[in-house]
Amino acid sequence: MLKPLLKGDRVVIISPAGFVGSSLQPAIDVLKSWGLEVEVGKYARSQKGYFAGTDGHRLEDLQWALDHPKVKAILFARGGYGTSRIIDQLNFNGFLKFPKWLIGFSDITALHLKVNQLGVPTIHGPMALQFGKKEYASSIEHLQQLLFTGLSTINVKGDFKESQTIQADITGGNLSLLIDSMATPNELNTRDRILFIEDIGEGIYKIDRMLMHLKRAGKLEEIKALIIGHFTNISDTSPAYHQTLYELIESTLARPDVPIVTHFPAGHEPENIALPLGLPAQLEISPTKAKLKMSMRS
């Protein structure tokens, strides 16, 4: 079982997807201010067109970080696209011998699904390029609290039909990447889980199509609750689509027995609260709010 971090622990920063394009120094400085030792991957600052180096370079860095016996956490520099190009070539034997926290979101969803599948929890949360930016300060502070205390409680206002408490692991991440995982070795598993989704820059008809894909694949029949994070820069159709995002989600799920928590503060916006995946969580629903309680302590 992974444990919260301690001062003196080692963290590495790597770039398995898109080219970084700006300095990693703010993230290094913040992590050091937390009392952590910081190491940067050999190719973390590389560029090969859109990507942070060639597939081979990114694979080498990620394999090195996963295998590293002294590393307690891997902070990914950014998302974009590229992780799925190398994920099937990874060997997780060393990682399972020396497990560590993986921290990131968006394209990193592919790794969350794979690592959770292996029975190791991960953290959907801010990445290195967001460190040191004023608008992300509260999200980075929450990540620090989670990493060092192992505890997190998030309250979200809502309008629910009845009070209930749900205990289940959380799975999910970026909706587009969840769809991308279908029929692959790291396919999304929603059985008896709380499903979390978020996305950016998609048309609402594309979101409709992706939700229908999940439904047709039986993934929405197995969930205990649905948590909706940020859906940022969503475009409408012309003529306008017949439903709002939340109406679309509710009608697609079509399960009044499953609570839907909306406006959850995680995703592609500055308020990106760290969310442990692959760990038991307690979701307490009352008529006016939802409280999500999580512990990384063994």
Write the pLDDT tens digit of every residue in 25-63: 999 999 999 999 999 999 999 999 999 999 999 999 999
Between the alpha carbon of residue 177 and those of residues 16, 87, 110, 184, 237, the distances in Å are 15, 13, 6, 11, 23
| 142 is a catalytic site residue | no
Write the pLDDT tens digit of every residue in 98-119: 999 999 999 999 999 999 999 9
| 60 is a catalytic site residue | no
Top CATH class of 10-150 equals alpha beta
Write the pLDDT tens digit of every residue in 65-100: 999 999 999 999 999 999 999 999 999 999 999 999
Write the pLDDT tens digit of every residue in 263-286: 999 999 999 999 999 999 999 999
Dist. CA 107–CA 110, nearest whole Å: 6
Alpha helices in 133-269 (DSSP H): 137-149, 175-180, 204-216, 245-253
Dist. CA 14–CA 28, nearest whole Å: 12
Q: How confident is the model at residue 296, as a pLDDT?
A: 87
Pairing verdict, β 151-157 and 164-174:
unpaired
Query: What are the sequence ranges of the domains in the chain?
Result: 10-150, 153-295
| Cβ atoms of residues 90 and 186 within 8 Å | no
Dist. CA 133–CA 140, nearest whole Å: 9
Q: Tell me the two tokens of residue 265.
A: 């503060």
Among the listed residues 57, 124, 230, 268, the single catalytic one is 268
Task: Provide the Cα torsion 176, 40, 57, 84; round to 10°.
Answer: -10
pLDDT at residue 229 greater than cutoff 80? yes
Q: Do domains 10-150 and 153-295 have the same CATH topology?
A: no
Mean pLDDT of 13-36: 96
Among the listed residues 139, 198, 202, 230, the single catalytic one is 198
Dist. CA 250–CA 228, nearest whole Å: 11
pLDDT at residue 260 greater than cutoff 90? yes
Among the listed residues 15, 57, 84, 106, the single catalytic one is 106
Coil vs helix vs strand at 83:
helix
Mean pLDDT value across the chain:
96
| 163 is a catalytic site residue | no
Pick the CATH number of 153-295 from 2.40.50.140, 3.20.20.105, 3.50.30.60, 2.60.40.10: 3.50.30.60
Q: Tell me the two tokens of residue 43.
A: 């190719």
Dist. CA 189–CA 178, nearest whole Å: 10
Dist. CA 225–CA 3, nearest whole Å: 26
Dist. CA 196–CA 260, nearest whole Å: 10
Q: How confident is the model at residue 298, as a pLDDT?
A: 60
Q: Tell me the two tokens of residue 215.
A: 């439904």
CB atoms < 10 A from the CB of 185, how many? Answer: 10
